[in-house]
Amino acid sequence: MPNEWACKEDTMSIRDELNRLDEEMEKALGNLDSLTALEALRVMMLGKKGQLTAMMRMMGQLSAEERPQMGQLINERRERFTRMLDERQQAMQKKERELRLQMERLDVTEPKPLPEIGSVHPNTLVLNEVVDCFTGMGFEVVEGPEVELDHFNFELLNIPKNHPARDAQDTFYIDDNVVLRTHTSPVQARTMTTRKPPIRIICPGRVYRADEVDATHSPVFHQIEGLVIDEGVSMGDLKATLAAFARRLYGSDIHVRFRPSFFPFTEPSAEADLTCVSCRGKGCRICKGTGWIEVLGCGMVNPHVLEMCGIDPKRYSGFAFGIGLERITMLRYGIKDMRLMYEGDLRFLRQFREDVKEG
Protein backbone atom coordinates (compact mmCIF):
# COMPACT_ATOMS: atom_id res chain seq x y z
CA MET A 1 0.00 0.00 0.00
CA PRO A 2 2.24 2.70 -1.30
CA ASN A 3 -0.35 5.34 -0.39
CA GLU A 4 -0.52 4.28 3.24
CA TRP A 5 3.26 4.25 3.43
CA ALA A 6 3.42 7.68 2.01
CA CYS A 7 0.90 8.77 4.68
CA LYS A 8 2.97 7.25 7.45
CA GLU A 9 5.95 9.07 6.10
CA ASP A 10 4.02 12.43 6.17
CA THR A 11 2.72 11.77 9.66
CA MET A 12 6.24 11.17 10.85
CA SER A 13 7.53 14.31 9.30
CA ILE A 14 4.68 16.37 10.81
CA ARG A 15 5.44 14.91 14.24
CA ASP A 16 9.12 15.71 13.75
CA GLU A 17 8.27 19.14 12.57
CA LEU A 18 6.05 19.74 15.62
CA ASN A 19 8.79 18.60 17.97
CA ARG A 20 11.21 20.86 16.19
CA LEU A 21 8.73 23.73 16.56
CA ASP A 22 8.41 23.02 20.29
CA GLU A 23 12.14 23.34 20.63
CA GLU A 24 12.30 26.42 18.48
CA MET A 25 9.53 27.99 20.52
CA GLU A 26 11.29 27.26 23.82
CA LYS A 27 14.54 28.66 22.51
CA ALA A 28 12.98 31.77 20.97
CA LEU A 29 11.05 32.52 24.19
CA GLY A 30 14.29 32.17 26.13
CA ASN A 31 15.99 34.73 23.92
CA LEU A 32 13.21 37.30 23.83
CA ASP A 33 14.37 40.77 24.80
CA SER A 34 11.47 43.00 23.81
CA LEU A 35 7.75 43.11 23.21
CA THR A 36 8.42 43.78 19.52
CA ALA A 37 10.45 40.57 19.30
CA LEU A 38 7.60 38.76 21.04
CA GLU A 39 5.09 39.98 18.45
CA ALA A 40 7.46 38.90 15.66
CA LEU A 41 7.64 35.43 17.22
CA ARG A 42 3.85 35.28 17.46
CA VAL A 43 3.53 36.12 13.79
CA MET A 44 6.21 33.64 12.85
CA MET A 45 4.49 30.80 14.70
CA LEU A 46 0.79 31.54 14.58
CA GLY A 47 0.33 34.16 11.88
CA LYS A 48 -1.36 33.53 8.52
CA LYS A 49 1.98 32.76 6.98
CA GLY A 50 3.37 31.26 10.18
CA GLN A 51 4.82 27.82 10.72
CA LEU A 52 1.81 26.20 12.42
CA THR A 53 -0.52 27.47 9.72
CA ALA A 54 1.81 25.98 7.11
CA MET A 55 1.55 22.64 8.88
CA MET A 56 -2.24 22.80 8.87
CA ARG A 57 -1.97 23.05 5.11
CA MET A 58 0.18 19.93 4.96
CA MET A 59 -2.69 17.96 6.52
CA GLY A 60 -4.30 17.67 3.11
CA GLN A 61 -1.80 15.05 2.27
CA LEU A 62 -2.80 12.82 5.17
CA SER A 63 -5.26 9.93 5.19
CA ALA A 64 -8.72 10.44 6.62
CA GLU A 65 -7.92 8.52 9.83
CA GLU A 66 -4.72 10.39 10.51
CA ARG A 67 -6.01 13.83 9.86
CA PRO A 68 -8.01 14.32 13.10
CA GLN A 69 -5.17 13.00 15.20
CA MET A 70 -2.65 15.34 13.60
CA GLY A 71 -5.14 18.14 13.60
CA GLN A 72 -5.56 17.72 17.31
CA LEU A 73 -1.79 17.77 17.83
CA ILE A 74 -1.42 20.96 15.81
CA ASN A 75 -4.35 22.66 17.55
CA GLU A 76 -2.94 21.66 20.87
CA ARG A 77 0.31 23.45 19.83
CA ARG A 78 -1.61 26.48 18.70
CA GLU A 79 -3.32 26.74 22.08
CA ARG A 80 -0.16 26.07 24.01
CA PHE A 81 1.95 28.51 21.98
CA THR A 82 -0.74 31.16 22.33
CA ARG A 83 -0.83 30.66 26.08
CA MET A 84 2.96 30.76 26.34
CA LEU A 85 3.18 33.93 24.31
CA ASP A 86 0.35 35.60 26.28
CA GLU A 87 1.89 34.73 29.63
CA ARG A 88 5.25 35.93 28.49
CA GLN A 89 3.75 39.12 27.12
CA GLN A 90 2.02 39.86 30.41
CA ALA A 91 5.22 39.22 32.35
CA MET A 92 7.19 41.51 30.05
CA GLN A 93 4.57 44.28 30.22
CA LYS A 94 4.55 44.07 34.00
CA LYS A 95 8.34 44.28 34.12
CA GLU A 96 8.39 47.19 31.70
CA ARG A 97 5.82 49.05 33.80
CA GLU A 98 7.77 48.45 36.99
CA LEU A 99 10.91 49.72 35.29
CA ARG A 100 9.13 52.85 34.10
CA LEU A 101 7.68 53.54 37.56
CA GLN A 102 11.13 53.08 39.01
CA MET A 103 12.60 55.57 36.56
CA GLU A 104 9.82 58.09 36.98
CA ARG A 105 9.79 57.84 40.74
CA LEU A 106 9.72 61.17 42.56
CA ASP A 107 11.17 61.48 46.00
CA VAL A 108 9.06 64.27 47.42
CA THR A 109 11.17 64.32 50.56
CA GLU A 110 14.43 64.94 48.70
CA PRO A 111 15.97 68.23 49.89
CA LYS A 112 16.32 70.87 47.19
CA PRO A 113 18.38 74.06 47.20
CA LEU A 114 16.10 76.82 48.51
CA PRO A 115 15.11 79.60 46.09
CA GLU A 116 17.00 82.84 46.63
CA ILE A 117 15.07 84.98 49.11
CA GLY A 118 14.71 88.59 48.03
CA SER A 119 15.11 91.55 50.32
CA VAL A 120 12.96 94.54 51.08
CA HIS A 121 14.46 97.70 49.57
CA PRO A 122 15.96 100.01 52.23
CA ASN A 123 13.63 102.80 51.06
CA THR A 124 10.66 100.51 51.71
CA LEU A 125 12.01 99.47 55.12
CA VAL A 126 12.29 103.12 56.19
CA LEU A 127 8.97 104.05 54.59
CA ASN A 128 7.31 101.26 56.60
CA GLU A 129 8.80 102.72 59.77
CA VAL A 130 7.64 106.21 58.85
CA VAL A 131 4.12 104.98 58.03
CA ASP A 132 4.05 103.08 61.35
CA CYS A 133 5.14 106.16 63.21
CA PHE A 134 2.54 108.49 61.67
CA THR A 135 -0.39 106.06 61.63
CA GLY A 136 0.40 105.61 65.34
CA MET A 137 -0.24 109.35 65.73
CA GLY A 138 -3.58 109.09 63.93
CA PHE A 139 -2.45 109.91 60.37
CA GLU A 140 -3.93 108.19 57.34
CA VAL A 141 -1.93 107.20 54.21
CA VAL A 142 -3.21 108.80 50.99
CA GLU A 143 -1.76 108.44 47.49
CA GLY A 144 -2.07 110.45 44.30
CA PRO A 145 -1.09 110.24 40.61
CA GLU A 146 2.50 110.61 39.43
CA VAL A 147 1.33 112.15 36.16
CA GLU A 148 -0.29 115.25 37.56
CA LEU A 149 -2.21 118.30 36.41
CA ASP A 150 -0.34 121.61 36.54
CA HIS A 151 -3.37 122.78 38.52
CA PHE A 152 -2.59 120.53 41.52
CA ASN A 153 1.20 120.44 41.20
CA PHE A 154 1.49 124.27 41.00
CA GLU A 155 -1.63 126.46 40.74
CA LEU A 156 -3.44 125.35 43.91
CA LEU A 157 -0.15 125.49 45.79
CA ASN A 158 0.18 129.18 45.09
CA ILE A 159 2.72 128.75 42.30
CA PRO A 160 1.09 130.50 39.32
CA LYS A 161 2.48 130.27 35.74
CA ASN A 162 5.71 132.27 35.32
CA HIS A 163 6.31 132.20 39.08
CA PRO A 164 10.08 131.90 39.68
CA ALA A 165 9.49 128.96 42.07
CA ARG A 166 8.69 126.84 39.00
CA ASP A 167 12.27 127.13 37.77
CA ALA A 168 13.55 125.73 41.05
CA GLN A 169 11.58 122.55 40.45
CA ASP A 170 13.10 121.51 37.07
CA THR A 171 9.78 120.16 35.85
CA PHE A 172 9.27 117.41 33.27
CA TYR A 173 6.32 118.68 31.22
CA ILE A 174 4.03 116.24 29.38
CA ASP A 175 2.12 119.17 27.85
CA ASP A 176 1.19 122.70 28.94
CA ASN A 177 -1.17 121.44 31.65
CA VAL A 178 0.25 118.05 32.57
CA VAL A 179 3.53 117.33 34.39
CA LEU A 180 5.34 114.51 36.15
CA ARG A 181 4.72 115.67 39.71
CA THR A 182 7.76 117.47 41.10
CA HIS A 183 6.74 116.87 44.73
CA THR A 184 4.04 115.10 46.75
CA SER A 185 2.36 118.40 47.68
CA PRO A 186 -0.31 118.02 44.93
CA VAL A 187 -1.73 115.17 47.05
CA GLN A 188 -2.36 117.64 49.90
CA ALA A 189 -4.03 119.99 47.38
CA ARG A 190 -6.21 117.15 46.09
CA THR A 191 -7.15 116.11 49.63
CA MET A 192 -8.02 119.63 50.75
CA THR A 193 -10.33 120.13 47.75
CA THR A 194 -12.20 116.86 48.37
CA ARG A 195 -12.34 116.53 52.17
CA LYS A 196 -13.45 118.55 55.10
CA PRO A 197 -11.19 119.11 58.16
CA PRO A 198 -10.04 117.57 60.39
CA ILE A 199 -7.44 116.20 57.98
CA ARG A 200 -4.42 114.23 59.12
CA ILE A 201 -2.60 112.49 56.25
CA ILE A 202 0.78 111.40 54.99
CA CYS A 203 1.32 110.91 51.25
CA PRO A 204 4.33 108.84 50.24
CA GLY A 205 5.24 108.59 46.56
CA ARG A 206 7.60 108.92 43.63
CA VAL A 207 8.44 112.38 42.30
CA TYR A 208 10.37 113.62 39.26
CA ARG A 209 12.78 116.45 38.56
CA ALA A 210 15.03 117.11 35.56
CA ASP A 211 18.05 116.88 37.84
CA GLU A 212 21.65 115.73 37.68
CA VAL A 213 22.51 112.18 38.75
CA ASP A 214 25.11 112.14 41.51
CA ALA A 215 25.64 110.85 45.05
CA THR A 216 22.76 112.97 46.42
CA HIS A 217 20.56 113.66 43.35
CA SER A 218 18.38 111.58 41.06
CA PRO A 219 15.68 112.58 38.53
CA VAL A 220 13.34 110.10 40.22
CA PHE A 221 13.13 110.00 43.99
CA HIS A 222 10.57 109.76 46.78
CA GLN A 223 8.92 112.15 49.16
CA ILE A 224 6.55 111.76 52.06
CA GLU A 225 4.14 114.63 52.38
CA GLY A 226 2.44 115.33 55.67
CA LEU A 227 -0.64 117.50 56.20
CA VAL A 228 -2.70 118.34 59.27
CA ILE A 229 -5.67 120.72 59.18
CA ASP A 230 -7.96 121.41 62.09
CA GLU A 231 -9.04 124.23 64.36
CA GLY A 232 -6.20 125.75 66.37
CA VAL A 233 -3.28 123.88 64.74
CA SER A 234 0.00 125.70 65.46
CA MET A 235 3.67 125.65 64.56
CA GLY A 236 4.24 124.05 67.98
CA ASP A 237 2.16 121.03 66.85
CA LEU A 238 4.31 120.80 63.72
CA LYS A 239 7.52 120.82 65.72
CA ALA A 240 6.27 118.28 68.26
CA THR A 241 5.08 115.97 65.47
CA LEU A 242 8.43 116.14 63.68
CA ALA A 243 10.31 115.61 66.94
CA ALA A 244 8.31 112.44 67.63
CA PHE A 245 9.10 111.24 64.12
CA ALA A 246 12.84 111.97 64.49
CA ARG A 247 13.09 110.19 67.85
CA ARG A 248 11.22 107.18 66.55
CA LEU A 249 13.51 106.82 63.52
CA TYR A 250 16.89 107.76 64.93
CA GLY A 251 16.74 107.60 68.72
CA SER A 252 15.67 109.68 71.72
CA ASP A 253 18.75 111.96 71.71
CA ILE A 254 17.78 113.45 68.32
CA HIS A 255 16.29 117.00 68.35
CA VAL A 256 14.59 119.17 65.73
CA ARG A 257 15.37 122.80 64.96
CA PHE A 258 13.70 125.17 62.50
CA ARG A 259 15.42 127.63 60.18
CA PRO A 260 13.32 130.20 58.33
CA SER A 261 12.78 129.36 54.69
CA PHE A 262 10.34 130.00 51.85
CA PHE A 263 7.73 127.91 50.06
CA PRO A 264 4.84 129.55 48.19
CA PHE A 265 2.30 127.19 49.79
CA THR A 266 3.38 127.64 53.45
CA GLU A 267 3.60 130.78 55.56
CA PRO A 268 5.69 130.88 57.65
CA SER A 269 7.99 128.28 56.12
CA ALA A 270 10.95 126.46 57.61
CA GLU A 271 13.69 123.99 56.90
CA ALA A 272 13.83 121.43 59.67
CA ASP A 273 17.23 120.16 60.82
CA LEU A 274 17.84 117.11 63.00
CA THR A 275 20.73 116.47 65.37
CA CYS A 276 23.36 114.81 63.15
CA VAL A 277 22.55 111.09 63.40
CA SER A 278 26.17 110.19 62.68
CA CYS A 279 28.04 112.17 65.40
CA ARG A 280 24.94 112.73 67.58
CA GLY A 281 25.56 116.51 67.49
CA LYS A 282 29.32 116.68 68.17
CA GLY A 283 30.20 117.77 64.64
CA CYS A 284 31.57 115.54 61.89
CA ARG A 285 32.17 115.34 58.15
CA ILE A 286 28.54 114.46 57.40
CA CYS A 287 27.15 117.55 59.19
CA LYS A 288 30.14 119.63 58.10
CA GLY A 289 31.00 120.22 61.73
CA THR A 290 27.67 121.90 62.60
CA GLY A 291 26.09 119.01 64.52
CA TRP A 292 22.86 119.44 62.48
CA ILE A 293 21.59 117.92 59.23
CA GLU A 294 18.87 119.28 57.02
CA VAL A 295 16.08 116.78 56.33
CA LEU A 296 12.84 118.43 55.30
CA GLY A 297 10.82 121.47 54.31
CA CYS A 298 7.72 122.48 56.24
CA GLY A 299 5.48 125.31 57.38
CA MET A 300 1.97 126.46 58.19
CA VAL A 301 -0.34 126.02 55.21
CA ASN A 302 -0.65 129.40 53.49
CA PRO A 303 -4.18 130.81 54.17
CA HIS A 304 -4.45 131.63 50.48
CA VAL A 305 -3.93 127.92 49.64
CA LEU A 306 -6.61 126.93 52.17
CA GLU A 307 -8.98 129.38 50.55
CA MET A 308 -8.24 128.15 46.98
CA CYS A 309 -8.94 124.61 48.16
CA GLY A 310 -12.28 125.59 49.72
CA ILE A 311 -11.26 125.58 53.40
CA ASP A 312 -12.12 128.59 55.56
CA PRO A 313 -8.78 130.07 56.79
CA LYS A 314 -10.55 132.02 59.55
CA ARG A 315 -11.72 128.84 61.17
CA TYR A 316 -8.98 126.37 60.25
CA SER A 317 -5.22 126.33 60.20
CA GLY A 318 -2.79 123.59 59.34
CA PHE A 319 0.78 122.52 58.89
CA ALA A 320 2.51 120.62 56.09
CA PHE A 321 5.90 119.01 55.64
CA GLY A 322 7.75 117.23 52.86
CA ILE A 323 10.35 114.60 53.72
CA GLY A 324 12.88 113.30 51.17
CA LEU A 325 12.70 109.53 51.68
CA GLU A 326 16.11 108.76 50.15
CA ARG A 327 17.79 111.25 52.43
CA ILE A 328 16.40 109.76 55.63
CA THR A 329 17.09 106.21 54.38
CA MET A 330 20.72 107.11 53.67
CA LEU A 331 21.03 108.58 57.16
CA ARG A 332 19.33 105.59 58.72
CA TYR A 333 21.67 103.02 57.17
CA GLY A 334 24.78 105.10 56.55
CA ILE A 335 24.45 104.80 52.75
CA LYS A 336 26.92 107.24 51.17
CA ASP A 337 25.74 107.23 47.54
CA MET A 338 22.10 107.52 46.46
CA ARG A 339 22.81 105.74 43.14
CA LEU A 340 23.28 102.48 45.05
CA MET A 341 19.58 102.55 45.81
CA TYR A 342 18.56 102.45 42.15
CA GLU A 343 21.17 100.20 40.55
CA GLY A 344 19.70 96.92 41.78
CA ASP A 345 23.11 95.47 42.68
CA LEU A 346 22.33 92.34 44.68
CA ARG A 347 25.46 92.76 46.82
CA PHE A 348 23.96 96.03 48.07
CA LEU A 349 20.37 94.81 48.40
CA ARG A 350 21.23 91.54 50.20
CA GLN A 351 22.52 93.56 53.15
CA PHE A 352 18.92 94.52 53.88
CA ARG A 353 17.62 90.98 54.08
CA GLU A 354 15.47 90.56 57.16
CA ASP A 355 17.56 87.60 58.34
CA VAL A 356 20.92 89.41 58.17
CA LYS A 357 19.77 92.86 59.24
CA GLU A 358 20.71 93.84 62.77
CA GLY A 359 18.00 95.37 64.96
Q: How far is the CB of 352 from ligand PHE (least distance, A)?
A: 26
In the window 152-191, what residues touch ligand PHE (CB under 6 A)?
183, 185
Amino acid at 16: D
Residue 318's SS3 state is strand
Spell out, one character per residue from 267 to 306, where the chain touches ligand PHE: x when CB under 6 A holds, - when not: ------------------------------xxx-------
d(CA 18, CA 23): 9
Which C-beta is closer to ligand PHE: that of 24 or that of 271? Answer: 271
Q: How far is the CB of 190 from ligand PHE (least distance, A)?
A: 14
Which C-beta is closer to ligand PHE: that of 185 or that of 275? Answer: 185
Q: How far is the CB of 261 from ligand PHE (least distance, A)?
A: 8
Exposure b/e, 110-137, CB count within 10 A at least 16 = b: eeeeeeeeebebbbebbbebbeebbeee
Which C-beta is closer to ligand PHE: that of 7 or that of 298? Answer: 298
Instruction: Give residues with Cβ within 8 angstroms of 275, minimum separation 6.
Output: 246, 250, 253, 254, 255, 281, 291, 292, 293
CA distances to 24, 74, 344 from 48, in Å: 18, 15, 75
Partnered with residue 207 across adjacent β-strands are 221
Which C-beta is closer to ligand PHE: that of 122 or that of 299? Answer: 299
Contact 146, 181 (CB under 8 A): yes
Which C-beta is closer to ligand PHE: that of 139 or that of 263? Answer: 263
Q: How far is the CB of 133 from ligand PHE (least distance, A)?
A: 17
d(CA 145, CA 83): 81
Q: How far is the CB of 259 from ligand PHE (least distance, A)?
A: 13
Spell out, one character per residue from 199 to 228, where the chain touches ligand PHE: x when CB under 6 A holds, - when not: --------------------------x---
Which C-beta is closer to ligand PHE: that of 241 or that of 266? Answer: 266
Which C-beta is closer to ligand PHE: that of 171 or that of 185? Answer: 185
Residue 257's SS3 state is strand
Q: DSSP readout, 36-101?
A: HHHHHHHHHHHSTTSHHHHHHHHGGGS-TTHHHHHHHHHHHHHHHHHHHHHHHHHHHHHHHHHHHH
d(CA 209, CA 147): 12
Total of chain residues touching ligand PHE, rule CB under 6 A: 11
Which C-beta is closer to ligand PHE: that of 92 or that of 165? Answer: 165
Q: How far is the CB of 269 from ligand PHE (least distance, A)?
A: 6
In the window 75-94, what residues touch ligand PHE (CB under 6 A)?
none
In the window 223-242, what residues touch ligand PHE (CB under 6 A)?
225
Which C-beta is closer to ligand PHE: that of 62 or that of 296? Answer: 296
DSSP 8-state assignment for residue 354: T
Q: Name the closest residue to ligand PHE (Cβ).
A: 322
Q: How far is the CB of 138 from ligand PHE (least distance, A)?
A: 19
Partnered with residue 349 across adjacent β-strands are none
Q: What share of the chain is helix, strand, coil (3-state, %, to 5)?
A: 45, 20, 35
Spell out, one character per residue from 315 to 344, where the chain touches ligand PHE: x when CB under 6 A holds, - when not: -----xxx----------------------
Q: How far is the CB of 173 from ligand PHE (least distance, A)?
A: 17
Closest CA to 197 of 314, 321, 311: 311
Q: How far is the CB of 299 from ligand PHE (least distance, A)?
A: 5
Q: Quote the Cα angle for 247-134-209, to 5°.
A: 95
Angle, in degrees to the nearest 10, between helices 66-103 and 51-58: 170
| Binding interface with ligand PHE (CB under 6 A) | 183, 185, 225, 263, 266, 297-299, 320-322
